[in-house]
């Protein structure tokens, strides 16, 4: 199962970035092939919470948050054993987001899945205010 890592600097404070990344409704903004995500069991931001996912092709999937540490990292695993992990770290200029993706895709699909995920992660800074304002 190949694992890829992608990093991006987001010009916003860590709590704001983590809250955005850990919001179930925002999962489609950084998970390749996912059009919709809803909480179907457990509570938002808790390890063990269950998610309902809908793919671009209309397939319904289940996923679970297997790891959650507020303002640090979280991991979700879907029924196909695709694993997406998001980690955040406060750095000069904002928040460093490190995303890790692993899964088993057909060889003809893997390149497209990884390219879409890399594009979505690269777009994360555009989802926040253009400048980091000192607090």
Closest Cα partner for 27 from 72, 69, 82? 82
pLDDT tens readout for residues 65-104: 999 999 999 999 999 999 999 999 999 999 999 999 999 8
Query: What global pTM score does this model have?
Result: 0.89
pLDDT tens readout for residues 7-55: 999 999 999 999 999 999 999 999 999 999 999 999 888 889 999 999 9
Structural domains of the chain, ranges and CATH numbers in brackets = 3-127 (3.30.530.20)
Closest Cα partner for 34 from 101, 128, 130, 134? 101
């Amino acid at each position: 199962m190949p694992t890829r890592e992608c990093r991006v600097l987001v010009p916003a404070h860590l709590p704001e970035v983590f809250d955005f990344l850990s919001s179930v409704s925002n999962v489609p903004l950084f998970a390749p092939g996912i059009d919709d995500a809803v909480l179907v069991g457990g509570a938002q931001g808790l390890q063990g919470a269950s998610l309902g996912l809908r793919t671009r092709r209309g397939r319904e999937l289940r996923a679970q948050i297997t790891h959650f540490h507020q303002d640090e990292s979280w991991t979700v695993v879907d029924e196909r054993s695709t694993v997406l992990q998001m980690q955040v770290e406060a750095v000069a200029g904002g928040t460093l987001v490190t995303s890790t993706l692993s899964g088993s895709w057909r060889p003809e699909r893997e390149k497209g899945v990884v390219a879409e995920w890399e594009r979505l992660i690269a777009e994360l800074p555009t989802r926040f205010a253009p400048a980091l304002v000192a607090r």
